[in-house]
Amino acid sequence: MKYDYEINEAIALIKKENAKLVCIQLPDGLKPEALKIAKELESKTNSKIFIWLDSCFGACDIPLELKNLRIDLLIQFGHNQWPFWKSKILEV
């Protein structure tokens, strides 16, 4: 199955927010794509991408530890189609 990660939307948001440190969070089934996603985001923005490798059980599963890491932006990816602007992005 092929997924649309809406990379262009993520790039636009990173640039709009001028985010320098961005965390991407994926469910276990999509984690094999994490490096590919991170490399593409880094190559098209001026940000450093941090991959959250712990479990992710949905959009409400926000790692509280990110506050201590001073992440500018959290981007969550999932298996199901969900409008990008509604819940995939959350500033921490």
Residue 13 lies in a domain: yes
pLDDT in tens, 28-82: 888 999 999 999 999 999 999 999 886 655 555 566 677 778 889 988 886 555 5
Q: Which residue has the higher pLDDT, 25 or 68?
A: 25
Residue 61 lies in a domain: yes
- The answer to whether the CB of 89 falls within 8 A of the CB of 75 is yes
pLDDT at position 90 is 43
pLDDT at position 38 is 97
Residue 49 lies in a domain: yes
Q: Which residue has the higher pLDDT, 78 or 2?
A: 2
| Mean predicted confidence (pLDDT) in 18-31 | 90
Residue 2 lies in a domain: no
Residue 64 lies in a domain: yes
- Write the CATH number for 11: 3.40.50.11840
Residue 1 lies in a domain: no
Please state the domain count of the chain. 1
* Residue-number span of the structural domain to which 57 is assigned: 7-90
